[in-house]
A and B are shown apart, each in its own frame.
Chain A
Amino acid sequence: MSRTVTIEPVTRIEGHARITLQLGGGGEVEDARFHLTQFRGFEKFCEGRPYREMPALTARTCGICPVSHIIASNKACDHLLSVSIPPTGEKLRRIMNLAQMVQSHALSFFHLSSPDLLLGWDSDPVSRNIFGVMRQYPDLAKDGIRLRQIGQSIIETLGGKKIHPTWVVPGGVADPLTPEKREAMLRQLPEGLEIARRTYDFFKTLVPKFKDEASHFGTLPTMFLSLVTPQGNLEHYDGLLRIKDAQGRIVEDMVPPEDYERIIGEAVEDFSYMKFPYYKPQGYPKGIYRVGPLARLNNAQSCGTPYADVALAEFHMLQESGPIASSFHYHYARLVEIIYALEMMERLLKDPAILDHRVRARARSNRDEGIGVSEAPRGTLIHHYRIDDDGLITWVNLVIATGHNNLAMNQAIRQVADAYVDGNQLQEGMLNRVEAVIRCFDPCLSCASHAFGQMPLRIELKDAAGQVVDTLSRG
């Protein structure tokens, strides 16, 4: 008799989602699916709007990482203008993107995942939350808040205190940086780096304890997609696309972002509103790949900053050879990237040219089609627009970072469920591990509604006739 276990909503992720586990007669997992249950429709309702509105419109896609959409959207608009933005404008955009990386990764690690990592997957769910962490690890909790504060403060210093800053504009940025603002940002970075390094050192001591989870939390033989510099190093703002396979062979390299459609296809399934991107030459669903911090570090030869490069070398030692396969190590990769972002922001701000007043190229639209690609905290983000002669949007395609990981997230929950879920006797810790593997990817499913913490949660075991034979509730 087959049964279905439903986990809804998935907690401590950004957005609303459901997980279903199909169990066979012996209680074994036969299938596992991750469902995105909300529909947004940005691609449709942006049609007819002037292209210059796109950065502001698409920033509303996400309440927590609007900067990522602002960057990718403005890059698509740069492409429509057919301009090269002034180097200082580009550097200032880079700083804002890196500040976003710091605050988003800090939220994922300290706020959303630390209850599992520090208190344990099987600990009492009543206290397995941020308050439990604050009570047992107050200094670490304060560090997480301070890192977010630093990231947010740099974004505000650059973009202004408006809720949705319009400082990044097609062609560059609206205003040059003042010496006072530069100093204000530079003052915070040493403390941020100290916190990031301290947290990284602490987490390294925990990693050996998670050997079992590292083996079963989405340890998958997938490819990895990310931007890299022309030298093959870590890149978050610009650069070229690289795909490495599970053995570490480079299967696509130095692909101009404008050619993304040659290598990335998008499939749909009837059980989710999230698209299923795949590597086109291998077809669907064989062309599974991952993006985000894990992919970026697997693809990068070097970070290019001192402390991050040491951490990158240690990251590669997590496995004997080849790209790091376990999705559990997204957490590790996030901490390496926080270190990198803080070091790189300091380098960019200390560049004397950062105060140059030429920060914006001005032009009207000179193309009918624009593509902007950047690395958001969760992975490669693609904005693709077509416009008419009046500059009005006629077609939009957004390939969101989390979407790239969709195939991998589905396989990851299957792997965790196989390893931990006993369909004959459900336990809360099993459920939490299935959710926790999704948290490794830090998915951002929408900006409108994000699930958190100890939400009411009910799991039902139903028999083939739909009769509930077992339930598990919390909240």
Chain B
Amino acid sequence: MKALIIGYGSPIRGDDAIGPLVADRLEREGVPAGITVISRHILTAELVADLADQDRVIFLDAAIDAEPGEVRCQRLAPDAHAVSTMAHFLDPRELLAWCETLYGQAPESYLISAGGASFDYASYCLTPIAEVAVEIMLARVRQLIDGGTAPTPGSNEHLLDLDQTVMRTARLTSP
């Protein structure tokens, strides 16, 4: 399988760095042949050319509409109306719509995201609850690239809710 994993977010805005940090971990720990991992501050137009010939694309991002530590895995569909309000970056669904419009097809795509607890200044440093979410995100990415089960289109799979994450955080941080 040819797949592209894109971790994106600002590395200096607290838990927004979770996408790039998960991508960095994957790169350090190694991925199967055919899998490419990249980090980006934002999703920009030229990425559409990298998407075009992939079998599967996995976006890794922080979420502001989820409880801190809550990890979700969503199947994404191209959506030309998911236009970001910003000129220089794109919503992943918009990027997929660019791909579909220009190249006639869009790869099977997923967004794995985690709710952040803080988006204040911090350089590549996550809150404890987001640190736990990193592990969950990594495990889900591994499942997806190893051919494991994938969420169906339109579904929104919650991998871990807030209570479970808090319990895991407590276990990890207790002396």
Q: How far is the CB of A231 from chain B (nearest CB, A)?
A: 35
Residues of A within 8 A of B40 (CB): 163
B33 touches A (CB below 8 Å): no
In the complex, the answer to whether A141 meets B102 with C-beta atoms within 8 Å is yes
Residues of B within 8 A of A438 (CB): none
Chain A contact patch, size range: 35 or more
A-B CB contacts (within 8 Å), total count:
77
Q: How far is the CB of B9 from chain A (nearest CB, A)?
A: 9
The distance in angstroms between the C-alpha atoms of A130 and B84, with both chains bound, is: 13
In the complex, the answer to whether B87 meets A454 with C-beta atoms within 8 Å is no
Q: How far is the CB of B38 from chain A (nearest CB, A)?
A: 7
A126-142 interface code vs B (CB 8 A; 1 in, 0 out): 00011100110010011
Q: How far is the CB of B40 from chain A (nearest CB, A)?
A: 7
A63 touches B (CB below 8 Å): yes
In the complex, the answer to whether B102 meets A134 with C-beta atoms within 8 Å is yes
In the complex, the answer to whether A451 meets B85 with C-beta atoms within 8 Å is yes
In the complex, the answer to whether B86 meets A451 with C-beta atoms within 8 Å is yes
In the complex, the answer to whether A63 meets B85 with C-beta atoms within 8 Å is no
Name the one of B20, B80, B87 contacting A452, with C-beta atoms under 8 angstroms. Answer: B87
In the complex, the answer to whether A149 meets B11 with C-beta atoms within 8 Å is no
Given known contacts A12-B87, A146-B49, A161 and B38 CB-to-CB distance under 8 angstroms: yes
A3 touches B (CB below 8 Å): no
B97 touches A (CB below 8 Å): yes
Q: How far is the CB of A163 from chain B (nearest CB, A)?
A: 5
A148 touches B (CB below 8 Å): yes
B68-112 interface code vs A (CB 8 A; 1 in, 0 out): 000000000000100111111100000001100110000000000
Residue of A nearest to B9 (CB): A163
The distance in angstroms between the C-alpha atoms of A112 and B88, with both chains bound, is: 10
In the complex, the answer to whether B88 meets A152 with C-beta atoms within 8 Å is no
Given known contacts A148-B44, A161-B39, A163-B39, A64 and B88 CB-to-CB distance under 8 angstroms: yes
The distance in angstroms between the C-alpha atoms of A153 and B102, with both chains bound, is: 21
B120 touches A (CB below 8 Å): no
Q: How far is the CB of B77 from chain A (nearest CB, A)?
A: 16
B12 touches A (CB below 8 Å): yes
In the complex, the answer to whether B46 meets A103 with C-beta atoms within 8 Å is yes
Given known contacts A131-B80, A145-B49, A163 and B87 CB-to-CB distance under 8 angstroms: no
A87 touches B (CB below 8 Å): no
Name the one of B83, B86, B88, B102 contacting A454, with C-beta atoms under 8 angstroms. Answer: B83
In the complex, the answer to whether A145 meets B11 with C-beta atoms within 8 Å is no
Residues of A within 8 A of B166 (CB): none
Residues of A within 8 A of B88 (CB): 14, 63-64, 107, 450, 452
In the complex, the answer to whether A134 meets B98 with C-beta atoms within 8 Å is yes
B9-23 interface code vs A (CB 8 A; 1 in, 0 out): 001100000001000
B31-47 interface code vs A (CB 8 A; 1 in, 0 out): 00000001111101110
A449 touches B (CB below 8 Å): yes
The distance in angstroms between the C-alpha atoms of A452 and B94, with both chains bound, is: 13
Residues of A within 8 A of B49 (CB): 142, 145-146, 149
B4 touches A (CB below 8 Å): no
Residues of B within 8 A of A63 (CB): 41-42, 88-89
A360 touches B (CB below 8 Å): no
The distance in angstroms between the C-alpha atoms of A103 and B88, with both chains bound, is: 12
B48 touches A (CB below 8 Å): yes
In the complex, the answer to whether B102 meets A13 with C-beta atoms within 8 Å is no
Q: How far is the CB of B93 from chain A (nearest CB, A)?
A: 13
In the complex, the answer to whether A452 meets B102 with C-beta atoms within 8 Å is no
A86 touches B (CB below 8 Å): no
Given known contacts A163-B20, A452-B87, A145 and B42 CB-to-CB distance under 8 angstroms: no
Residue of B nearest to A455 (CB): B85
The distance in angstroms between the C-alpha atoms of A379 and B22, with both chains bound, is: 37
Interface residue ranges of A112-162 to B (CB < 8 Å): 112, 129-131, 134-135, 138, 141-142, 144-146, 148-149, 152, 161-162
Residue of A nearest to B86 (CB): A450
Q: How far is the CB of A230 from chain B (nearest CB, A)?
A: 35
A60 touches B (CB below 8 Å): yes
Residue of B nearest to A111 (CB): B45
A453 touches B (CB below 8 Å): yes
A358 touches B (CB below 8 Å): no
Q: How far is the CB of A414 from chain B (nearest CB, A)?
A: 24
In the complex, the answer to whether A107 meets B86 with C-beta atoms within 8 Å is no
Residue of A nearest to B98 (CB): A134
The distance in angstroms between the C-alpha atoms of A146 and B49, with both chains bound, is: 7
Q: How far is the CB of A114 from chain B (nearest CB, A)?
A: 12
Residue of B nearest to A103 (CB): B46
In the complex, the answer to whether A164 meets B84 with C-beta atoms within 8 Å is no
Given known contacts A63-B88, A163-B11, A452-B86, A131 and B101 CB-to-CB distance under 8 angstroms: yes
In the complex, the answer to whether B86 meets A449 with C-beta atoms within 8 Å is yes
Residue of B nearest to A452 (CB): B87
Residues of B within 8 A of A64 (CB): 44, 87-88
The distance in angstroms between the C-alpha atoms of A63 and B42, with both chains bound, is: 8
- B residues lining the A interface (CB < 8 Å): 11-12, 20, 38-42, 44-46, 48-50, 80, 83-89, 97-98, 101-102
- A residues lining the B interface (CB < 8 Å): 12-14, 60, 63-64, 103, 107, 111-112, 129-131, 134-135, 138, 141-142, 144-146, 148-149, 152, 161-164, 449-455
Q: Contacts A63-B89, A144-B45, A450-B88 known; list 13 others, CB within 8 Å.
A: A63-B88, A64-B87, A107-B88, A129-B83, A134-B102, A138-B102, A142-B49, A148-B44, A152-B44, A163-B20, A164-B11, A451-B85, A454-B83
Q: State the 8 A-B residue pairs at the shortest beta-carbon distance, nearest first.
A: A148-B46, A452-B87, A149-B46, A450-B87, A64-B88, A450-B86, A163-B41, A134-B101
12 chain-A/chain-B pairs, Cβ below 8 angstroms: A12-B87, A14-B88, A111-B45, A131-B80, A134-B101, A134-B102, A145-B45, A145-B102, A152-B44, A164-B11, A451-B85, A452-B84
